[in-house]
Structure 1
Amino acid sequence: MAELMLVAYATKNGSTREIAQSIADTLRKEGLVVDFRRAADVRDIRPYSSVVVGGGLYTNHLHRDARRFLRRHRRPLGDRSLWLFSSGPLDPSAGERDIPPVPGVRRIAVRLDAKGHATFGGQLDGTATGWMARMIVKSGRGGDFRDFGQITAWASEIAAAMAAEEVRRRETHQ
């Protein structure tokens, strides 16, 4: 039976959900069994052998629900393969170069021994909620800066890492 993978996300306006959905869809196309859930809705990670967690960045901090998920499940996450992603730059920079995680996410990644992290461009349009978001859009700095080719490629790298891990596990048990 295939092991179950979790893709969990935290979002304010829905952009990060669409990134997480793309990751989950890619992992499924690569043959993995994936559960796709809001981070705030996940109560137990015992069924999952590996986890991808992502959240939007707001004033250089990972979305609160993603931070809470990672804090609440920190012990069992130590026994699982973990990847993290952030979304947020409202410019093309994330599609042009590798952007390191913000300091808080970097600390989380080190503490939980994450296998990888990616920062993806964000998206903010006129439907965004919150005073600051509306001001950003009104100033003309909104837009959609997500690069779904980049997102798919990153998810494919995760699938390849999972496949290699499975081969190593089988070779060890022979």
Structure 2
Amino acid sequence: MARTVLVAYGSTYGSTAELARTVGAVLGEAGLTAEVRAAGEVKDLSLYDAVVLGGALYAGRWQRDARRFARRHRRGLSRRPLWLFSSGPLDSSASRRDLPPPPSVQRAARRLGAQGHVTFGGCLDERARGRVARMIVRSGKGGDFRDFEAVSAWAGGIARELSSPVDTEA
């Protein structure tokens, strides 16, 4: 049975969108149908058998579109396999160890019955807009800390789970 997976993301500067596209590519290579879309554009979950939702972290909170998506689609998300990811630390900590999600994302994962959550390193560079983002970059704390190999490995695990035969009762 072909499975269709929505990979939705909340991204302000585009780096979380790139992570979501990587997840979608890995799922597609595994034979699943993956549709990667900005969280704010998704109106209906009925076409999807599973969902991966990612959000950029800002001050310990998911990006607004990811938060709204989780609230708006709460019922539909709780009825299908769901995985969550966050991107954000502007250092290598996410590559060195598993980072727990911030409390608000932890609550959403629990409420929605998510299969799992992972935090990946973030990216903030000189293209960033906004006073705070520019201040962070000027302070030397910006950079690209995304680990695409780790993203691919995580997405591969999701693909294996979704591709494994479903137990049916006789």
Match of 1:119 in 2: 119
Distance 2:64 2:133 in 1: 17
User: 1:4 corresponds to which residue?
Assistant: 4
Q: CA–CA distance in 2 between the matches of 1:19 and 1:33? A: 17
Q: Bigger shift: 1-10 or 56-65?
A: 1-10
Shift of 1:77: 1.0
Runs of 4 or more, structure 1, over 4 Å off, are: none
Partner of 1:135: 135
Mapped partners of 1:129, 1:47: distance in 2: 35
Look up the match of 2:161. 161
SS at match of 2:49: strand
Letter in 2 for 1:168: V
1:135-161, Cα deviation, whole Å (9 max, x unpaired): 000000100000000000000010111
Structure 1 segments unaligned to the other structure (5+ residues): none
Aligned length: 170
Question: Which residue is equivalent to 1:69?
Answer: 69
Aligned-pair Cα RMSD in Å? 1.0
Post-superposition Cα deviations, 1:84-133, rounded to whole Å, max 9, x if no partner, equal 00000000000111001110000000000000101000000000011111
Per-residue Cα deviation, 1:36-95 (whole angstroms, up to 9, x for no partner): 100000000011010000010001000110010010000011110000000000000001
The Cα of 1:173 is off from its aligned counterpart by: 5.8
The TM-score with structure 2 as length reference comes to 0.97
Q: How does 1:22-101 map to 2 (within 5 A)?
A: 22-101=22-101
CA distance in 1, matches of 2:7, 2:93: 25
**1: CA distance, partners of 2:147 / 2:76:** 32
Instruction: Report SS of the residue matched to 2:52.
Output: strand
* Mapped partners of 2:12, 2:117: distance in 1: 20
Aligned-residue identity in percent: 54
Distance 1:54 1:6 in 2: 11
Q: Aligned-pair distance for 1:32? A: 0.6
